Structure 1
Amino acid sequence: MKIAKHLLVAAGVLAVAVAGIEFGTAQGGVESPRVESVVDGVPGYAVEDFNYPQADKILEERGIVLKRGDGHIILADCGSQEGLLVVWSRSRESVCFRVTGDSGFLTMEMPAVYAVRGNSYETDVTMTVGEEEKHFEITKNAWTNVGEAADPEDGDHMLVEITTNK
């Protein structure tokens, strides 16, 4: 809709410019000043790519690979507030996420995850072990064994996605 509006404005500016040039040259050969299209001065459109903001900095400082999300599952300091999702891994200290909105998703790479504490949202996690993908439903407001704790024979599981719904 905005593009059509910009095109209509540009067409109107062009028509005025052409009429002015014709009128100016008919009135004694005086050229009209150069008229630029309004569209030329419009900034580009922002396109959401869903990449996690400052992911490189988070990887450098905390060793956590956060890839993409919709902005409704956000890395948080554990203990900073009630109602956080808490992820336990054998490869690092616990990692916490704040959930906002009615639903959310976040993709990541977090190895050796074995437990997740749910919050008031319906939460599912997707994990990989080798080439196999496994899904775990997280119990609301309680700890749920996932990965190696749920399937000890399979070994380390990598957490690759969290999804939530209210």
Structure 2
Amino acid sequence: MDLEFDVVDLPEADHVEVGDEAPEFTRPLVNAEYWEDVALSDLLPDGPVLLVFTTMDGAFPATYVWNELRDRGVEEYGAQVVGVSVSSPYEHKTTIEERGIEQFTGLFSDPQNGVAEAFGVENDLDGMAGVSEPRPAVFLVEPDRTVSYAWVAEEWPEFPDYDAVEAALADL
């Protein structure tokens, strides 16, 4: 297959693992109607959270991930589906509309990439001093903040095993 881009190995990541406590954070959470500052712990009383880290909105990996999760109807398993990226609330509003993901809980805006750093999934962008974004990653966070599923990309681009994500959700 002739790809129009290079597949790149990412450096090892010291990321949150299954059984770890998910780091607490507060960021603007954008949904189809508005955005407001929300903590991860604010969501957990309503059930598990499928926390999906993606590249910036509009980049093909993020587009592909949101299309796949939407088409699979992962919200029907009972977990809240929540994204995290460096994109602004304005960009997230556009992504929610364009990708047709209004049924998901929302997308956290994390322009300084602090949430990705806390989860150990930050990815420094080559040739750009001080610029990073999350590497693709998926964490299923239980209401007690325990991580019960974790997947983190080891190369770019790389996508989650969506069947494994669904299996983790089915075990809820």
TM-score normalised by L of structure 2: 0.28
Going by fraction, where is strand more abundant, 1 or 2?
Answer: 1
Higher relative contact order (CA 8 A, sep 6+): 2
Larger radius of gyration: 1
